[in-house]
Amino acid sequence: MNFGKLFGICALASGIALAGCGNKPAQTTEAPAATDPTAQTIKVGVMAGPEQAVAEVAGKVAKEKYNLTVELVEFNDYALPNTAVSNGDLDANAMQHKPYLDEDTAKKGLDNLAIVGNTFVYPLAGYSKTIKNLSELKDGATVAVPNDPSNLARALILLEKQGLIKLKDNNNLLSTTLDIVENPKNLKIKEVDTAVAARAIDDVDLAVVNNNYAGQAGLNASEHGVFVEDKQSPYVNIIVARTDNKDSEAIQNFVKAYQTDEVEAEAKKQFKDGVVKGW
């Protein structure tokens, strides 16, 4: 056998085979899309309703100006968002004032929360279906007030400013009905769940209601309020984060996005000018 000839044939066949393999379409895997290293995402708790609509504008500003994605988590209960921030389920929340934060954190032992910025004063107001001004309020009338500690005190302080009652100490932001020392009209102060206070106006002579719940019931302070909390209120709403993330770029950029003209305009739209800028 001519081994040289055989070797040549095998080499030729091998070359053809390799050439054939080289002509096959390349098996490629599409490269993953490049990610933007500056993009960040945070979760922020807000109350359902008009305040959520305001926060949505803050989220849009955050995305446009700071490439920050804000995922809003909606709540219907004030008792939950602070715990969610504290345990890391949320990065921040925007739904309360400092007196409420102080009371809630003391009660639950939440020692890792921090205020990072102001938003708006959402004034409480007195609403009624039976009277247009306080001179019409009869002796012995029933007045509904929110039952959570900080909003209860806030409502009582507001009633005192209207001359309806007198408190032992109107600087005590946790006053209760036990602190009423004068009640010249013998008003019946009825504590009701904060979330349903707006609906209480069907059953009482006067109800003091938080602005966001009033908005959900189609009420606004400027048009329907018998009296309204003034601009000197200490109850400015705040943005709350944790001590371990309060100085982060994402949190600071969210605060800056919230404190903008666009967000203020949306707040005035949602609350019919019944808000006061807090920064």
- Mean pLDDT score, 192-203: 89
Cα 122 to the center of its chain, rounded Å: 12
Q: State the architecture of 40-123+234-277 in CATH terms.
A: 3-Layer(aba) Sandwich (3.40)
Question: Can you give the pLDDT at residue 169?
Answer: 96
Instruction: Give residue-wise pLDDT tens across range 117-144.
Output: 999 988 899 999 999 999 999 999 999 9
Beta bridge partners of residue 277, listed in sequence order: 120
Higher pLDDT, 38 or 106: 106
- Rounded to an integer, the average pLDDT of 179-194 is 96
**Is pLDDT larger for residue 18 or for residue 191?**
191
Looking at the chain, which residues constitute the CATH 3.40.190.10 domain(s)? 40-123+234-277, 125-228
Q: Does domain 125-228 have CATH number 3.30.470.10?
A: no
- Out of 63-72, 89-98, 156-165, 204-213, least confident range: 204-213
Note the pLDDT of residue 58: 98
Span 201-210, mean pLDDT? 94
Position 8 confidence tier, pLDDT thresholds 50, 70, 90: very low
What would the pLDDT profile of 22-46 be if each residue is shown by its tens digit?
333 333 334 444 456 667 999 999 9
